[in-house]
Structure formats: C-alpha cells, structure tokens
Amino acid sequence: FLKDQGIDLDEMFDASGLRLAEYRSEMLSTDKLFAYGTTPCIHYGHTLRNRSGKCIQCNTLNISFARQHRRKAHVYLAGSRKKKLIKVGTSADLNDRIPLLNHYRYGRARDWQLLCHVHVDNAGVVERKILNGLGPFLHPTHYEKDGRLQECKECFKCSYAIARWEMLLILDDDRQHSIIEEIDVDDRRYDFPNW
C-alpha cells in the first residue's frame, strides 16, 4: 500500500501503544505525516493513519490532505464585502481560486475579492497557523457543492487589517517572504467590525 501510494518510510511514525493525542504530538515534533501501529480502524481494521487519526487506507484522500501542509503554494486572504467575511486559504493557482469561490458561493457569498497573498514552501502549515490565530473571529457558514451542503471553516468576522496582521506575525519568522498586496493596504472597504 505504501509503495502504491508513493509514501516513503521517512514519512512514517511508529505509533504502537500510543493514543491519538500522544502520537499526533510526536508526529508534529518529528515532522512525520503518517503513522503505523495505530488502533485498527472500525471499517476494515487498517492501522495506517494520518496525524488527525484518519485511516489513509479507507480513504486515500487523507494522504493528499496530509501532504497539503508541505506543498509549495500561495496562502491568501480574500474578502466578501456583502457578507463582511474574510477567508484564509491556500492555492497553487490563484487565477482559478477567486472565480471558484464565487461560483460555489463559498460562505454564501458571490463577491469574493483577492486581498493579498504570499508564496511559501509549507503552505498548509502557514495557513493552519493563521487560522488558529484568527480563531476568536471564526464564523462557520456553508456552501453547496455537487448537491451537498459543505461546511466553511476558513471564514472570519474580522477586518482585513486584523487578518493581514496575523499573516504578518506568522511570516515574521521567515523574512524572505513578502506579501503581495492586491488592494491598497489603507483600503477601508474590508475593515469589517470584529464580531
């Protein structure tokens, strides 16, 4: 299975005898993506999981989700003036991202605008840190895709200034990255109230 999925043994962590919280913490500190020796999954008894404890054999999408954290991509901030929302996301191709958000009415909005972005090596890691930093402003909402209601976990009721500041804080550790502004930093149209 590992060979078929292109998983290198260097990406694996021995989680034998450990609970999820324990092996997740160890995997994060050792930069491992997948664990073996976990408790068997309820469907088929598989013992290969990602850091979140999801079986990578029952659903191989869990492999690509785990690898997203390491991929080179753009981390971006987008804004919807009508819904007064800021979205944090990652994308390898920014040209397609905003039209897709508007097409699917992500967060029930059709007026998403790209505000800024930065290209980084560990896009998923940077995105996750920004999402965590903006946690108090999280505004769960929905959108419909392929006839099913999907939850949006990347929308925030805060101003662009706050979201941009959080991005700058995360990037401050690595000064080689500079944010590419798509709107004027002093543009007040995206300074929404912080709910």
What pLDDT digit, counting tens, does each position of 60-110 carry? 888 887 777 677 889 999 999 999 999 999 998 889 999 999 999 999 999
* C-alpha distances in Å from residue 165, one per residue of 55, 58, 113, 139, 184: 36, 39, 18, 18, 15
Q: What is the pLDDT of residue 166?
A: 94
Instruction: List the beta strands (DSSP E) in the chain.
Output: 12-14, 34-36, 48-50, 73-80, 85-91, 112-120, 141-145, 148-152, 155-156, 180-181
For residue range 99-144, what is the model confidence (pLDDT) as tens digits? 999 999 999 999 999 999 999 888 888 898 999 999 999 999 988 8
pLDDT of residue 148: 84
pTM of the model as a whole? 0.71
Cα of 126 vs its chain's centroid, Å: 8
Categorize the per-residue pLDDT at 174 as very low, low, confident or very high, splitting at 50, 70 and 90: low
Minimum mean pLDDT among 20-24, 115-119, 124-128, 183-187: which range? Answer: 183-187
pLDDT of 195: 65
Give CA torsion, residues 157, 28, 67, 11, to 10 deg. Answer: 180
